[in-house]
Copies of this chain bind each other. A is one copy, B any other.
């Protein structure tokens, strides 16, 4: 589960024992698409009755505590026109992608044996992993059924291919679990599939369904892909230096579960074979790693600034993609999202 998606929509005040931080939520950037998001909500709730009766309660449960709809926001902004009416096609495409996303969350929670999501029991926890497998499948099916309601096969084609890639990313990640020798390129390969692919297809479909030209459609997709990679790097660093109260999970869970993400991969490259072995051995005692000590080590080795640089490269790639399209109606909105993500990264209290 991603950090950003857990953030409240409103500007919020978070009180911790030592500091009081004001931060701006997604509200500012999502304000212009409020009517779109409301229609999306209605549309998705309306889908519950389209499911067979044995599935409805489960779907309703999933929809009750929704995320922050970052992928739909990308659909709406990539396909932004100055029209006053909300395009029904964009709402439907956003729902397609959000159902795929929901399905992957339901399945991810089985793999991660996660018990909580948005402070509610996960489907796997509440109804059992077997039901969670089947519900995820039903949500996938519904996504593709909605995709097939478009007049041409384009949406089906794009979404089914992206979904397959998301699975490939997750499979790659599972196979790499516990592999201390995982290369930086493999990390990028995995997050490109597991996260950036849905960001890509959100922007691609938004632009396409709004009737924009081929070049811009491609550019929007590029923007989405780079933003998705940046977003995942951000999420991975949050596992080390986020605030537990805000991200709503124990820090270091990736490490504890054998997921070696960018900070750790970069750190291992800076350690001697022996030091690396010792560090990894300390993770393998079944308890969560000593995050504070680990963070001190990372800081000393310059890992955090390296990760920030990787993050910034992707943000800049995303922004650069749009450089020839600043006159297009979507451009400023999309840049607003990338600058929002950048802002979240800057809010970290770096060790």
Task: Tell me the A residues contacting B by CB distance below 8 Å.
Answer: 51-55, 58, 103-104, 107, 110-111, 128-131, 133-138, 140-142, 144-145, 147-153, 156-157, 159-161, 163-165, 167-172, 174-175, 193
Contacts and interface: CB of A to CB of B under 8 A. Distances in A.
A157 B149 contact: yes
The 3 residue pairs across chains A and B that have the minimum distance between CB atoms: A52-B168, A141-B164, A148-B156
A45 B149 CA distance: 30
A58 B142 CA distance: 25
A152 B175 CA distance: 37
B138 A168 contact: yes
A153 B142 contact: no
30 contacts: A52-B165, A52-B172, A52-B193, A54-B169, A54-B172, A55-B164, A55-B167, A103-B137, A104-B137, A107-B137, A110-B133, A131-B175, A133-B133, A133-B136, A134-B174, A135-B167, A136-B137, A138-B171, A140-B140, A140-B141, A140-B163, A141-B161, A144-B160, A144-B163, A145-B156, A145-B157, A148-B153, A149-B153, A151-B153, A153-B156
A237 B169 CA distance: 42
Contact of A163 (B141, B164, B170): B141
A340 B241 CA distance: 65
Contacts of A148: 153, 156-157, 160
A193 B54 CA distance: 11
Contact of A156 (B55, B131, B135, B156): B156
Given A111-B134, A131-B174, 16 more contacts: A51-B164, A52-B168, A53-B168, A54-B169, A107-B137, A110-B129, A110-B133, A111-B130, A111-B133, A133-B133, A135-B171, A138-B164, A142-B164, A145-B156, A148-B156, A148-B160
B153 A52 contact: no
A142 B169 CA distance: 15
A216 to B, nearest CB: 23
A128 to B, nearest CB: 8
A156 B163 contact: no
A103 B147 CA distance: 20
Contacts of A149: 153, 157
Contacts of A136: 133, 137
A338 to B, nearest CB: 27
Contact of A54 (B131, B151, B171): B171
Contacts of A111: 130, 133-134
Contacts of A137: 103-104, 107, 136-137, 140, 163, 167
A193 to B, nearest CB: 7
A159 B144 CA distance: 9
Given A137-B136, A145-B157, A153-B148, A175 B54 contact: yes
Given A134-B107, A193-B52, A141 B160 contact: yes
Nearest to A158: B148
